[in-house]
Amino acid sequence: DKTLPSRIFNAVVSRITGVHLHDFNCGFKTYRRAVTNSVKLYGELHRFIPVLAHQQGFRITELPVQHHPRLAGVSKYGTGRLLKGFLDFGMVLFLTGYLKRPLHLFGAWGLFVLGLGALINLYLAVLWMLREFGGMTQIGAIGTRPLLIVGVLTMILGIQLISTGLLGEMLRYFNFNVQDEYSLKQVLEKRFTEYEK
């Protein structure tokens, strides 16, 4: 049955994005030309046009339409499609939330992971000092502990995440286009004086 998965999907998307629609998969959608010119689509993103348009400052309105029950065939909307929908939704959240500032996402996670790795290695360094200089010979060798590998790999992962964020920022800087950034709501006329011209 399509109803329950669809309701779950629509409720989650509506709650997280703040775009309050009953059915994001509804086939009846109307857009202004400015919306279709501004929103970039690929893959299965067509169902998230209202979310992408809302993020760019367009107003979203829902109007009731008459929905007739299916007379033939079966719905293809099942658990698999619901899962794909949530994966696409995760990508939309990334695009609307962090596309313009990738370092905020990758940098934050990178610092967290790097800090975690540093804490692991600091703990192991304290154990090593206690063994070498504190006379606590009952502490085993640090080099044979799997935790050392975990600590080093965690720090490397943190550095890679931060580097990914920096690369994203560089790509964004060199591909920045003002026309793609902003949508004009209204153009106000102004009469210029001879000095301003």
**pLDDT tens-digit readout, 96-132:** 777 778 888 899 999 999 999 999 999 999 998 888 8
What three-state secondary structure class fits 136?
coil
For residue 164, what pLDDT is reported?
94
Over residues 130-188, the pLDDT tens digits come to 888 887 877 778 888 899 999 999 999 999 999 999 998 898 888 776 556 666 666 67
pLDDT above 90 coverage of the chain, percent: 22
Any idea of the CA torsion for 37, 99, 89, 70, to the nearest 10 degrees?
A: 0
Both tokens assigned to 100: 């313009």
For residue 125, what pLDDT is reported?
92
For residue 65, what pLDDT is reported?
79
- Nearest residue to 85 (alpha-carbon basis) of 113, 46, 33, 114: 46
Average pLDDT score over residue span 58-87: 77
For residue 76, what pLDDT is reported?
65
Average pLDDT score over residue span 47-74: 81
Over residues 1-57, the pLDDT tens digits come to 457 777 888 888 888 888 888 888 777 888 888 888 888 877 777 888 888 888 888
Mean per-residue pLDDT of the chain: 82
For residue 97, what pLDDT is reported?
76
d(CA 116, CA 105): 17
For residue 93, what pLDDT is reported?
81
Cβ pair 135, 101 in contact under 8 A: no
